[in-house]
């Protein structure tokens, strides 16, 4: 039986010896992401900034350009329209109107009058500022709790050094995802938070696989220099890592290209997360162990491997 091999069985890439290049790149990526977030900010969706969302169905394929032109002339501020799953389904988003609930209701009636007959209004929702603020902080708490829980899990399963390395890689993935959304001006909403949590799970899964092999090799090769041991561990798990990442990316690309506008932001975040998570598991989480005085056992006594 022929087996597809994306990575040769005897591969020996010197990841650990190139760690300074990876570290510089990662630090630059995180600094740029934080800088973009603090200066440019994020394009928050209706979930986080409040506003009006109207789901409509038209008779036949919707003329989104014409509808956008009509609604933009109403003086309601920022208006966003996108196809919602089918050519005749349109999702209309309006920015929050000044004046409370009556102003929001008046804006909805203005939209209905402008679009005229032949439009079915399937759903109308208003997200107020208090609710949007609560949703934002709930998202922050969810991501923070996930990172802390992962730290505790890795700490108990391995050693505290593994936990620190995993969390550093995880924070790197989360911040870089926020940075790419800020750079491209993509809408940041609750589905993006869900994508970040999924990225955290995917990234830590990759990291745990490599760390598990590191732990096995620590017991097997008691006198092998730590840089060589770490590099061997990465190369031994590289085939599994690449196959998993490629198959996941194929599914995500299908979602991004064919899934429609509604899940495009989620799909993009996941594609970026798979790429950056695979990179951080191999090039960041493992080399960091060199600087955390990972314990080695020789002749029944614990000895700390010194950083070269």
8-state DSSP, 192: H
Q: Percent of the chain, pLDDT > 90?
A: 10
- Residue-range domain boundaries for the chain: 16-44+131-304, 51-127
Q: Is the per-residue pLDDT at 22 higher than 80?
A: yes
Q: How confident is the model over 145-187, as pLDDT tens digits?
A: 887 887 787 777 777 888 888 888 888 998 999 999 888 888 8
Structure tokens at 168: 């550093």
The Cα–Cα gap between 105 and 125 comes to 10
pLDDT, tens digit, 9 for 90 and up, residues 69-78: 888 888 877 7
Q: Could you count the other beta carbons within 10 Å of the beta carbon of residue 251? A: 12
What counts of helices (H) and strands (E) characterise the chain? 9, 8
Supply the pLDDT for residue 298: 52
- In the Cβ-directed half-sphere of 141, how many Cα atoms lie within 13 Å? 6
What's the whole-number average pLDDT of the chain?
80
For residue 50, what pLDDT is reported?
Answer: 72
pTM above 0.85, yes or no: no
Span 51-127 CATH architecture: 2-Layer Sandwich (3.30)
The class that CATH gives domain 16-44+131-304 is mainly alpha
Place of tokens 């005229």: 116
């Amino acid at each position: 039986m022929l087996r597809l091999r994306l990575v040769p069985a005897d591969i020996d890439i010197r990841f650990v010896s190139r760690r300074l290049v990876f570290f510089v790149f990662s630090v630059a990526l995180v600094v740029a992401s934080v800088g973009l977030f603090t200066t440019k900010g994020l394009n928050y969706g209706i979930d986080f900034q409040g506003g009006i969302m109207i789901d409509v169905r038209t008779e036949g394929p919707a003329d989104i350009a014409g509808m956008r032109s009509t609604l933009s002339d109403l003086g309601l501020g920022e208006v966003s329209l996108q196809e919602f799953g089918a050519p005749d389904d349109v999702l209309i988003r309006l920015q929050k109107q000044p004046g409370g609930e009556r102003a929001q209701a008046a804006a909805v009636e203005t939209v209905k009058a402008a679009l005229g007959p032949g439009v079915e209004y399937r759903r109308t929702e208003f997200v107020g500022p208090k609710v949007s603020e609560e949703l934002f902080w709930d998202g922050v708490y969810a991501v923070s709790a996930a990172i802390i829980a992962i730290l505790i899990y890795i700490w108990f399963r391995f050693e505290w050094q593994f936990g620190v390395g995993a969390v550093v890689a995880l924070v790197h993935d989360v911040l870089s995802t926020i940075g790419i959304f800020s750079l491209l001006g993509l809408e940041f909403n609750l589905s993006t938070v869900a994508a970040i949590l999924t990225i955290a799970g995917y990234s830590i899964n990759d990291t745990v696989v490599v760390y598990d092999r590191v732990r096995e090799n620590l017991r097997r090769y008691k006198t092998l220099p730590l840089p060589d041991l770490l590099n061997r561990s990465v190369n031994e798990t590289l085939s599994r890592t690449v196959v998993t990442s490629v198959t996941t990316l194929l599914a995500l690309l299908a979602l991004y290209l064919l899934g429609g506008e509604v899940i495009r932001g989620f799909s993009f975040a996941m594609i970026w997360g798979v790429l950056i998570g695979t990179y951080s598991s191999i090039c960041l989480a493992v080399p960091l162990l060199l600087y955390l005085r990972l314990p080695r056992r020789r002749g029944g006594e614990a000895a700390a491997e010194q950083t070269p």
